[in-house]
Structure 1
Amino acid sequence: MARPRTIPDPEIFAAIRAMLAQGGDKAVAFSSVARATGLAAPTLVQRYGSREGMVKAALLSAWDDLDARTDAAEAAAPLNAKGAVALLKALNDDEGGPDDLGLLAVEFRDPALRARAEAWRTRVEAALATRLGGGGKGRELAAILFAAWQGQALWSMAGGRGFRLKDALKRLD
């Protein structure tokens, strides 16, 4: 059977993200992505230039997806403490939840990826602070809640037992 001549970037990026999730950074090579997508390795080289460029493009696409999910979560979450919890739950419950968030931390050495991470964290903390009353106290509670949420996501991937976000928020109040 002949190889497909073209596959859209989002399909290639999904394959790369699956490889990152299953085998880490070392699992992604032109040859492994070629096998997963059916494209020829030289086609991938032409499209992305280097392995690092291919991985970066996939991760930047994942940040774009996360920004879109964050838009939807912000729009749906009420402007109160329950809305803060709802915002984080929506980011966890969507397709590509905490596992995808973990993947995005793969390459913080790259300045563009690190900047996307910092901007997203700032955005989520601001959205949380708005829902937690604003001001200095709201910003402080938002930073703590964000850190607890990210810690929970990290340890849940390692099999740790989580806590309920709303219980953490009650303790912070």
Structure 2
Amino acid sequence: MTGRPRMVSDDEVFQAVADTVTEVGPAGLTLAAVARRAGLTPPALTQRYGSKHGLLVAFATREAGSVGAAFEQARAGGAGPLDALRDGLIAFTAPITTREGMANNLAFLQLDLTDEVLHTHSVAQSRALRAQLVALIEESAVAGELKIDDAADLADTLYAVYSGAQLTWAIDGTGELGPWLADRINRVLAPHRTPH
């Protein structure tokens, strides 16, 4: 005998977690806030995930395991490897439209860095992201779009610039975050592009 189907999927709950973090930061990230946004009750979340920490671990596990999806979605639209690289990176920050949203996500990062279990998943997510960058850079080189000596080295530099550009935008950037990031990603890649 099977139980009743869940009316609210895990993905919908995790989206509610992400939206709550961006809107109110970790201080406002309660089971009640997530449940309200997901259309559930706090006891339903507790039954499903055990606790707030259990919910955060499930969320972090999903985030680490779904890194490739943003890049696959970019490729599904027919983008070449370099466009998919840029568009995939920008997709990760698409929900952040204000400095307050960025600040709330950075505050949440503190949990990832100080909680041993969450940190394990943050490391996995970071490594998966760099692996995606390496693969797309290598594909771009094979396609003749880039001339590179070391794909991993370029991926590491690109990842550092991408992460730092989020901070510089939050501090004194202009315009929207997506174009700000795209410009800096393009600057890193420009010296490696082959002439057309």
TM-score above 0.5: yes
Q: 1:165 aligns with which of 173, 182, 185?
A: 185
Partners of 1:29 and 1:124 lie apart in 2 by: 34
Q: Is the 8 A contact 2:65 2:125 kept in 1?
A: no
- For 1:99-114, what aligned pairs fall within 5 Å after superposition? 99=96, 103=105, 106=109, 107-108=112-113, 109=115, 110=118, 111-114=120-123
Q: Which residue is 2:34 aligned to?
A: 33
Which deviations, in whole Å up to 9, do the C-alpha atoms of 1:77-136 show, x marking residues without a partner? 43xxxx43x123211454863749x75973244213322322222232332244245774
SS in 1 for 2:173: coil
Q: Which residue is 1:42 aligned to?
A: 43
Q: Which runs of 5+ in 1 are unaligned?
A: none
Partners of 1:172 and 1:98 lie apart in 2 by: 30
Q: Structure 1 length normalisation: TM-score?
A: 0.71
Larger relative contact order (Cα-Cα within 8 Å, sequence gap ≥ 6): 2
Distance 1:89 1:119, change over 3 A: closer
Letter of the aligned partner of 1:19 in structure 2? T
Q: Pairwise CA RMSD of aligned residues? A: 3.3
Q: Is the 8 A contact 2:30 2:52 kept in 1?
A: yes
Letter of the aligned partner of 1:97 in structure 2? A
Structure 1 position 141 matched with structure 2 position 154: yes
Partners of 1:53 and 1:169 lie apart in 2 by: 40
Q: Structure 2 length normalisation: TM-score?
A: 0.65
Q: Which residue is 2:133 aligned to?
A: 124
Aligned length: 163
Q: Is the 8 A contact 1:31 1:41 kept in 2?
A: yes
Which deviations, in whole Å up to 9, do the C-alpha atoms of 1:59-91 show, x marking residues without a partner? 33334443212223356443xxxx43x123211
Q: Which runs of 5+ in 2 are unaligned?
A: 1-5, 175-179
Letter of the aligned partner of 1:147 in structure 2? A
Q: 2:84 aligns with which of 84, 87, 90?
A: 87
Overall identity of the aligned pairs, in %: 25
Which deviates the most, 21-30 or 160-169?
Answer: 160-169
Partners of 1:94 and 1:116 lie apart in 2 by: 15
